[in-house]
Structures are given as structure tokens and as C-alpha cells.
Amino acid sequence: MNSTKKPRRPFLKRTSTRIALLLLITVVAAFWFLTPAPVPFLGSGESMQAIVYHEYGSPDVLRFEQTEKPLPNDNQVLIKVRAASVNPLDWHYMRGEPYLVRMEAGMRKPQDTRMGADVAGRIEAVGKNVTQFKPGDEVFGTSGGAFAEYALASAKKVVLKPVNITFEQAAAVPIAALTALQGLRDKGKLQPGQKVLINGASGGVGTFAVQIAKSLGANVTGVCSGRNVEMVRSIGADHVIDYTKEDFTQGAQRYDLILDNVGNHSLSEYRRVMNPKAIYVMVGGPNDGKWIGPMSGAVKAMLMSPFVSQDFSMMLASINGEDLLVLQKLMETQKVTPVIDRTYPLSEVPAAIRYLEEGHARGKVIIIVGPAVAQD
């Protein structure tokens, strides 16, 4: 019986192609033309100094200006800032790159001109629904606009500062330590006795990850440059690999978990040193392009994971009071001590971000607001 093969429809006439193109056009249109809702702001009428930006770009767009001191809403606290810290998140928002961040921050220009997330200081005022804090309490957590003399924070995203650490140390903690904790405990499902490799062990997330992994009972290998080997060993790593002398992906050791802060190897190279049921968690990576940046690594991980025995994924930190309390306890019991590389005054935030962008910070970069003070 003769049969004829049905000819394929031209590419642009296929229904699936038209749907895909329509979705692409819709996303692009939304990206460029939709504008996020303005950020609500309740001012006090008083002035304060703060770092602000009105356009995307290099650190040159940051301005040290007099702005209006905010007032807390019913569920917020107002913090007199003593210290803040710099994160990659800050320069992503400053530059508006990858462009995905503009879906939240504003398409053509930032809707919220404030900067900074990690904060430590004393509570100045509380909203009427806030009962767990009072003025004078020393706290740390995340806020909107931490690069300022005063910052607002949700009462659910700050906790009391341990008395045995400084404001500078406390400000180093929130985003980096939460990323390390959740990457190891939640995504990585780390168990006592397992072998974990932390790629980028000397950076902000890495220095917390080494200490938190040890507190969870793991055998820890840290990867860093030669100048940081002794520091990484001093904070608890069982083994330290100098990546300038040794490629860990060519070694004989196999790992149950890899926490990757760098993304400087292919996924197949990581697989070479992973146990059959091991987990790979990406928390940082190279900025591959202006559209999705480090998310390109996440896409590759998600595409590979269904076809191999190991689990590949990425994560972003979830800011919550429960995990901040876990970190509070770890610091109180001296199982975690923040590592600080450099400090800068508030007026020099642009220089601090430039330094962080170079990619060689050892631990955290801290912004001191006002004079450094001794603990009471």
C-alpha cells in the first residue's frame, strides 16, 4: 500500500511556533513597558544621610545625599543603623543586571532609590502591631535601604543581636549566612558524617558555609586561592584545596554535596567527583550576559538533573526570622564567627561595591554608619 508522508508546515506557520513567538513578544513588551508599583514611603519630615541612586549603572551613579528619615508602618521597625554589609545583590540592582532584576526594580530606572539589605543597629521606633521589639533593642536582619543612617525593616525579618558579637559582625550575617544555611541544610540535605565541598570557601557565603557545615557534623573541604588557605583552615575546614595548584575535579575524592559559589567548572566536571546520589547546589556563578546572568547556570542544572542520578539545583536565600534565630544561636555558642575583610564609611559605599565586584573579598565587606562604637 502506498503511503505519502505529510509535508511539514513552514516554520512560521506552525501553531507551536506562533504560540512561542507570541509569548516571547508578550514577555519582552512587559519587560520594557510595564512599571512596578511605586514603593510606599511614609516620611517623618526629618532629614538623614543615605546612599541613593536614580539610574542604573556603575558605582558612579550612587549618591551620598540628604534624604527624608522614614517612619515605620504598623508592622515595621525603624532601625538606627550602626553597620550594613555589601552583597552581590546590591551591585546587581545598582546596574540593573541581569535585566531580570528590572522586572522587580523598575524597567528603565529604579523605583526604589534606596540601597542595601543587610543591617544591624538599635531600634528607634516600632509600628503599632509590633510587640516583640522595643526602642533600644539591638537587632540584625534585612531592611530596605540599609545604606543610610536609618532604615525600615519588617519585624519578621530582624532578630535580637547576640551580645557577644559586634554590630559589624552582625551586619555581615543575613543574606550570606542564610544562603549558606539553607543551601546546606535544605537544598543540600546535609547529614552528619557526609563529605561536602565548598567551592569559593573564602568569600562571604563560603566562610559561613564552612562553619555551618562543621556545625552540622560534616567533613568539609574548602576550595580557595593560596592566600586564603590558612584562613579557611582556621574557620574549621578539614581539607583545603588551593585552586591555583590543584583542580579538585581531577582528584580521587568523591563528595556527597557540592555547594558552588563560583561556577567555574562545567556540570560534567562536577559530576566526576560526586557520589552517585550526591547533590550539587549552585548559589553563585559567573555573570553570563545581561539578560539572565548567573541564572544560565541554573537553567543548565535543571536541564541536566532529570537525566542523571545526582541532583543539580540552585537556590536563593529565603529571608525569615526563624532561620535568623538559628544563626543567632550559632553565633551565641561560637560555632559561627563572621569573617570581615574590609570596612568602609557610609559615604564610601561606591568604593566598597567596586571592591566587591573585583571578586577577591575574604569574607564580608562592611559599611560602618557613624563612628565605630564599643559594645555596651
Looking at domain 43-173+339-368, its CATH architecture is Alpha-Beta Complex (3.90)
Question: What band does 208 get if pLDDT is binned at 50, 70 and 90?
Answer: very high
Which triple of cell numbers denotes residue 156?
519578621
Which H helix or E strand runs over 12?
Answer: none
Per-residue pLDDT at 45: 76
Mean of pLDDT over the chain: 85
Per-residue pLDDT at 312: 87
* Average confidence (pLDDT) over 336-342: 97
Higher per-residue pLDDT: 322 or 373? 322
Residue 153 has pLDDT above 50, yes or no: yes
Per-residue pLDDT at 13: 47
Question: What band does 287 get if pLDDT is binned at 50, 70 and 90?
Answer: low
**For residues 197 and 223, is the Cβ–Cβ distance under 8 A?**
yes
Task: Identify which of 83-92, 223-232, 279-288 has the greatest average pLDDT.
Answer: 223-232
Residue 35 has pLDDT above 60, yes or no: no
What is the C-alpha separation between 323 and 329, in angstroms, rounded? 10
Which amino acid, residue 217? G
* Average confidence (pLDDT) over 237-246: 97
Per-residue pLDDT at 43: 64
Higher per-residue pLDDT: 292 or 59? 59
Q: What residues contact 6, with CB distance under 8 A and at least 6 apart? A: none
* Average confidence (pLDDT) over 191-201: 97
Residue 347 has pLDDT above 60, yes or no: yes
Enumerate the domain spans of the chain. 43-173+339-368, 176-314
Question: What band does 11 get if pLDDT is binned at 50, 70 and 90?
Answer: very low
Give the closest residue to 232 by CA, choosing from 224, 131, 99, 272: 224
Per-residue pLDDT at 254: 97
CATH class of 176-314: alpha beta
Residue 41 has pLDDT above 80, yes or no: no
79 by DSSP, 3-state: which? Answer: strand
Per-residue pLDDT at 307: 64
Per-residue pLDDT at 40: 60
* Average confidence (pLDDT) over 66-90: 95
Per-residue pLDDT at 157: 97
Sequential DSSP letters for 219-260: EEEEEE-GGGHHHHHHTT-SEEEETTT--GGGSS--EEEEEE
Residue 22 has pLDDT above 80, yes or no: no
Residue 245 has pLDDT above 90, yes or no: yes
151 by DSSP, 3-state: which? Answer: strand
Residue 4 has pLDDT above 70, yes or no: no
Residue 308 has pLDDT above 60, yes or no: yes
* Least confident window among 9-23, 181-195, 205-219, 240-254: 9-23
* Average confidence (pLDDT) over 217-233: 97
Q: What percent of the chain has pLDDT over 70?
A: 77
* Least confident window among 16-30, 135-149, 154-168: 16-30
Which H helix or E strand runs over 356?
Answer: helix 349-357
Per-residue pLDDT at 80: 98
Please, what sign has the CA dihedral across residues 260, 261, 266, 272? negative
The order of strands in the sheet holding 311-314 is 239-242, 219-224, 195-199, 255-260, 274-282, 311-314
Which amino acid, residue 266? S
Per-residue pLDDT at 191: 97
Q: Residue 94: what are its φ and ψ, rounded to 5°?
A: -60, -45
Per-residue pLDDT at 24: 46
Which triple of cell numbers denotes residue 336?
559561627
**For residues 205 and 227, is the Cβ–Cβ distance under 8 A?**
no
* Average confidence (pLDDT) over 124-141: 97
What is the C-alpha separation between 355 and 366, in angstroms, rounded? 11
Higher per-residue pLDDT: 13 or 100? 100
Residue 95 has pLDDT above 90, yes or no: no
Per-residue pLDDT at 357: 87
* Average confidence (pLDDT) over 17-43: 50
Question: What band does 310 get if pLDDT is binned at 50, 70 and 90?
Answer: confident
Residue 108 has pLDDT above 90, yes or no: no
The model's pTM is 0.83
